[in-house]
Structures are given as structure tokens and as C-alpha cells.
Structure 1
Amino acid sequence: MGKIELKAVEKWYGEAQVIKGVDLTIDDSEFVIFVGPSGCGKSTLLRMIAGLEETSRGQVIIDGRDATAEPPSKRGLAMVFQSYALYPHMSVRDNMGFSLKTAGAPKAEQEEKVAEAARALRLEEYLDRRPKDLSGGQRQRVAIGRSIVRDPTAFLFDEPLSNLDASLRVEMRYEIAKLHQALNATMIYVTHDQVEAMTLADRIVVLSAGRIEQVGSPRELYEHPANLFVAQFIGSPKMNILPCTVAEDAFSLPGGGGGPATGAAGATQLGIRPEAIAIGATGGGHVDGTVDVTEYLGADAYLIVDCGASGKLTVRTDGETSLRPGDPIGLTFEDRKLHFFDADGIALR
């Protein structure tokens, strides 16, 4: 079992409150990712679960027991840090089995568990090497293997891929996803990289200034953001936001375009994803604009379009587009993918 519950947890440093009454339930075998901007409290919250930071108020419940006052060694959790923290003078085998050795486990048990972890992480051929002889991705797998042998209640990952280059991050995302499938273990993962969050998580917890803004599956957060913060944080490029007014179930834009807006009374801002905008001739869409910048990415291209009073919009289009800076275009929004927000940034539909 690996169920973890946070009940109204708070963290204070003197007069400064950095975690502000967080309530969250993480179910057994679930992969949950904490995301948010720098300073939002995601790593602090993870360290509170691990016991590396004291919980000022509230409760941390692990498998039904109150673990708030327990030291890290009693919580049955394994933490994988950004730094590999491997012993350079030890082999991969000895690094992975070190915690079992210090706990006095029989040698046969040590060997069995190290062998199982090495198979899961495809490290068998590296067991007799030292960390200096491994790539960054292999070292991170050894650090993960060191946690696996302890058979923990849950795995806690604190930005484990941030030290790796782009290709290794892709490789390790795959490794971690396969590991979760193989172990069926509870995993809590902190990252600032929303690609990691979108591709790995069962549920994402979006944090801002010590509070949870929204919890949901990657699809729920992308398609139904609860507020303007989540709408612009989840998704790359971020959602376009335009000023609008709504009257009698219809919206109007500063440039004169508009359309139906049932259920969006009181909206002051309209949101639309870059891929939900169609390109056409001027005068026939919601807004007209001029291509400002073209960003070619191969199969796709992003157009930054200056739409005057409606602002600069990002449009995702085919990489074979012939549009260039200075070209006038009309933009049409997909009606069913419009998002409306009130003056406080709360989603209306």
C-alpha cells in the first residue's frame, strides 16, 4: 500500500508562510506530479512528505497512520534527488545495495534485490562498474535502483532529470514511465518541466504561491483549466488570452469580431489554444492580423501574429506554411475550444 494524505498542511519559516493549507490525497500506485513556477512550494511540499522538512501545521498520513512527527527513516519512503549522490569508490552493485547492507540484511537478500532492481532498470551489465564509468542517464538509473531495493511505500522524485541534456531527459522519461508500470508503485514527482508532467502523470497538481490551483489528469488540466493561471501554465506554447466583453450570450473582441458565448456572462477575457486557430484571408474570421515572427520547428511552425488591440497571438500551423513576417491573415477560432474567464481569472466554461 502507498496511499498518502495531506490534511491542511502548512509550512512557516518565521513569519513567512510558504505552504498554505494544502489538502491532497494520493492513491496507492498513483503517479502524481507537482508542477509550478520557481518558488511555488512544490519541492518544500515533497520534502514535508519525506520528513526532511517539519510540518508546521496539519497532518501527513501515510497508509492510514499519522506520520507527521515521524523522522524520514520511519516513513518507509524513498527519495531520488536531482543530484545522484553516488559513492564514487563503490561499484554500481555496492551503491545499489548499500542501504540493505547498513540495515544488516542477509547477503543473499542483498544480492537478490540488487539483481531484481538491475533487471528492472537494465543495469545488469554495469553492476561492476563505478559511477565515473557511466553516463548521466545510467547514473540516475543507479540512484533510482538504490531506492528500489528498499521496497519503499512510495517513491519521491525531486527534479531528477534537470541535470540531463535534452536527449537523455527523453530517454529517462521513458525509463521512469516503464518503471512505474513494472513496479505499480506510488510515485510523487516534482518538476518545473510541464512536458515531463504531461507525459508521465496520472494526475498533475498545479501549485502557485503555496496553494493548489488545480488537480487533475493532464487532459483535464489542458482542456478544462480552472483558472487563468492554470490555462497559461499548462500547454506549450501557452494559451492565447484576449480581452473581450460578453452580452446576451455573445462575445465581442476589441477589433469587432465575436461569436456565441453561452454560459459566459461576466467574462472579461477569452482564451484559445494555438492549435485551435484556423488561418484564412483577412475579413472572414474573428480577428485580422499581420505575421510578426515565424518559428519553424520541422513538422510544425508557430506564427506570432500581431492582432492590434487583441494583442499578439500564437498560432500553430503546418511546418510547410509559406507565410512570412509581414503577411496579412485572418484568424478563426474553433468555437467549442473557447475558454472564458472573469475579472478574477476564474474559468466560466
Structure 2
Amino acid sequence: MGSITLKSAEKWFGELQVIKGVDLEIQDGEFVVFVGPSGCGKSTLLRMIGGLEETSCGQILIDGGDVTDQPPSKRGLTMVFQSYALYPHMSVRDNMGFSLKTAGAPKAEIDQKVMKAAEVLKLEPYLDRRPKALSGGQRQRVAIGRSIVRDPTAFLFDEPLSNLDAALRVEMRYEIAKLHQRLNSTMIYVTHDQVEAMTLADRIVVLEFGVIAQVGTPRELYENPANLFVAQFIGSPKMNVLPCATSGGQFQLEGGRSGAFDRAGMATQIGIRPEHIDLLSPGEGHCDGTIDVVEYLGADSYVIVDAGLLGQITVRAHGDIDLSPGQPVGLGFHEGRRHFFDAQGKALPKG
């Protein structure tokens, strides 16, 4: 079992409130990712769950039991940090089994659990090496293996891939996803990288200044963001947000043209993702602009369009598109893919 519940959890550092009354339920076996910009409180919230930070107000429950005031050793959780924190003088085998050894576990039990973890993480060839003889990705797998042997209720990951280069981050992201499938354990993962969040999570918790902005599956957050913050944080390149006015079932772009408005309420901004914009001839679509930059990425090209009063608009196009800076274009926004937000940044539901 590995269900975790937060009830009105708060964290204060003196007069500064960092976590502002968080309510969250994490199911047994679920992979939940905390994501948000630096300073939003995601690592603090993770450390509160792990018992490394005191919970100022509210409750933390694990499998229904209140652990708010219990030390980390009593919670049955394990943490994997950004720093590998491996003992340099010990072999991989000894590093992975060290916590069991200090707990007084029999040698046969330690060997069995270390071998099982090594098989899961494909570390068998490296068990007798020391950390200095391993790559960054291998060291991170050893750190994860050290957690696996403890057979925890849940795994807590605090930006574990931050020290790796781009290629290793992709490789380890795959390894962690496969690990979750094999172990079927509860995992809570902190990152500022929304690509990691989108690819790993069963559900994403988006944090903004110590409060939950939205919780949902990656698809829910991408297709139905609750507010402007989530809309622009989830997705790469980020959503284009443009000023508009609405009346009589129509929206009017500042310096652009009008279109159908099918929402309840009054919108002050329209959001459209780069892949939901068509490049058209000037005078067609919802607005005109001039191509500023074309970023060729192989399969895709990102076309940055200067749309005058609307600012810069990013369009995701096919990689082999033939466009040049300075070329005039029209931009058409896909119907059914437009997002509207009110003056407070809240997404408007369909009317």
C-alpha cells in the first residue's frame, strides 16, 4: 500500500508562508509529478511528505495513518535526490546495501535484495565497481537501487535528473518510467521540466506560489488548462496568448479580425497553441503578420511571426516548409482549439 493524503497542509518559515493550505490525494501505485517554476514550493512540499520539513499546519496521512509528527524513519518512504550522495570508497553493491546493513539485516537478505534491485536496474555488471568508475546515469541508477532495496511504501524523487546531460536525461526518464511499471509503487517526482512531467506522470500537480493551480492527467492539463498560468507552463513551445474583446458571440483581436466566441462570460485574452495555427496567405485567417525567424528542428519548424499589436506569435509547422524572414503571412486559429481567459486569467467554459 502507498496512498498519501495531504489535508490543508501549510509550511511557514517564520512569517513567510511557502505552502498555503494544500489538499491532495495520491492513490496507491500512482505516479504523481509536482511541477512549477523555481520558488513555487514543490520541493518543500515533497520534503514535508518525507518528513524532512516540519508541517506547520494540517495533516499528512500515509495509508490512512496520520504521520504529520512522525520522523522520516517512521514513514516508510525513501527519497532520491539531485545529488547521488554515494560513498566513494564503497562498491556499488555496498552502496546499495548500506542502509540494510546499518539496520542489522542478515547478509543473505542484503545480498538477495541488492541482486534483485540490480537486475531491475541492469546494474549487475557494475556491482563491484566504485562510483568514480560509473557514468552519471549509472550513478543515478545506483542511488535509485539504494532506495529499492528498502522496499518503501513510496518513492520521492527530488529533481533526480538535473545533473545529467540532455541525452542521459532522456535515457533516465525512460528508465524511471519502466521502473514504475515493474514495481507498481507510488512515486512522487519533483521537476521544473514540464517535458519530464508530461512524459512520466499519471497525474501532474501544477504549483504556483505555494498553492495548487491545477491537478490532472497530462492530456487534461494540455487540452483544458484551468487558467493562464497552467496554459503557458504546460506545453513546449508555450501557448500563444493574445489580447481580445468579446461581444455578440464574436471575439475581436486587437489589430486583427474576428471569429466565433462560444464561451460563457467575457474574455480579455485568447490562447492558441503553436500547432493549432495555419499559415495562410495575407488577408486570410484571423490576423496578419510578417515572418521574423524560422527555427528548423528537423521534423518541425518553429515559425516566429511578428503580428504587430498582437506581438510575436509562434507557429509549429512541418520541417520542410519553405518560408523566409520578412515574408507576409496570414494566421488562422483552429476552431475548437481556442482557449479564452477572463480578466483574472481564469479559463472560460463553453457556453
TM-score scaled to structure 2, two decimals? 0.99
- Distance in 2, matches of 1:210 and 1:194, equals 18
Contact 1:59-1:66 within 8 A present in 2 as well: yes
1:257 is aligned with what amino acid? R
Per the TM alignment, residue 255 of structure 1 is displaced from its structure 2 partner at its CA by: 2.2
Instruction: State the SS of the aligned residue for 2:346.
Output: coil
> 2:152 corresponds to which residue?
152
User: Which residue of the partner structure matches residue 166 of structure 1?
Assistant: 166
Specify the alignment match of 2:8 in structure 1: 8
Amino acid at match of 1:258: S
**Is 1:47 aligned to 2:42, yes or no?**
no
Looking at structure 1, the residues matched to 225 and 256 of structure 2 have their Cα atoms a distance apart, in angstroms, of: 27
Partner SS for 2:288: strand
Other structure's SS at 2:336 match: helix
Aligned to 1:18: 18
Report the Cα distance in structure 1 between the residues aligned to 2:346 and 2:54, rounded to whole angstroms: 33
Distance 1:272 1:250 in 2: 16
CA distance in 2, matches of 1:94, 1:46: 27
Shift of 1:256: 3.7
Question: Percent identical across equivalent pairs?
Answer: 74
* Counterpart in the other structure of 2:99: 99
Calculate the TM-score normalised by the size of structure 1.
0.99
How many residue pairs match? The answer is 349
Residue number in structure 2 paired with 1:344 = 344
1:306 matched to 2:310? The reply is no
Say if 2:278 and 2:332, in contact at 8 Å, map to a contact too: yes
Contact 2:43 2:158 in 1 (8 A): yes
TM-superposed deviation, 1:307 = 0.7
**Which whole-Å CA distance do the structure 1 matches of 2:44 and 2:153 have between them?**
20
User: What CA RMSD, in Å, does the superposition of the two structures yield over aligned residues?
Assistant: 0.6
Are 1:323 and 2:323 an aligned pair? Answer: yes
Matched, 1:117 2:105: no
Instruction: Flag as ranges the 4+ runs of structure 1 deviating above 2 A.
Output: none
- CA deviations 1:103-162 (Å, max 9, x no partner) are 111111101100100000000010010000000000000000000000000000000000
The AA in structure 1 aligned to 2:198 is M
1:245·1:267 contact (CA, 8 Å) conserved in 2? yes
The letter of the residue matching 1:132 is: K
- What are structure 2's unaligned runs of at least 5 residues? none
Other-structure match for 2:74 = 74
Distance 1:282 1:162 in 2: 44
Partner of 1:32: 32
Q: Is the 8 A contact 2:256 2:288 kept in 1?
A: no
Please state how far the C-alpha of 1:324 moved relative to its aligned partner. Answer: 1.3
| Cα distance in 2, alignment partners of residues 203 and 292 from structure 1 | 37
Is the counterpart of residue 258 in structure 1 residue 253 in structure 2?
no
Partner Cα separation in structure 1 for residue 256 and residue 118 of structure 2: 63
C-alpha displacement at 1:264, in angstroms? Answer: 4.1
CA contact (8 A) 1:153 1:186 kept: yes
2:139 equivalent to 1:139: yes
Mapped to 1, the partners of 2:228 and 2:321 lie a distance apart of 30
Q: What's the counterpart of residue 194 of structure 1?
A: 194
Tell me how far apart the structure 2 counterparts of residues 22 and 295 of structure 1 sit (CA, whole Å): 40
Structure 1: 5+ residue runs without aligned partners?
none
Partners of 1:249 and 1:59 in 2: CA distance: 47
CA distance in 1, matches of 2:207, 2:262: 30
Q: 1:64 corresponds to which residue?
A: 64
Moved more, 314-323 or 165-174: 314-323
Q: Secondary structure at the match of 1:336?
A: coil
Q: 2:284 is aligned with what amino acid?
A: G
Matched, 1:292 2:292: yes
> Offset at 1:306?
0.7
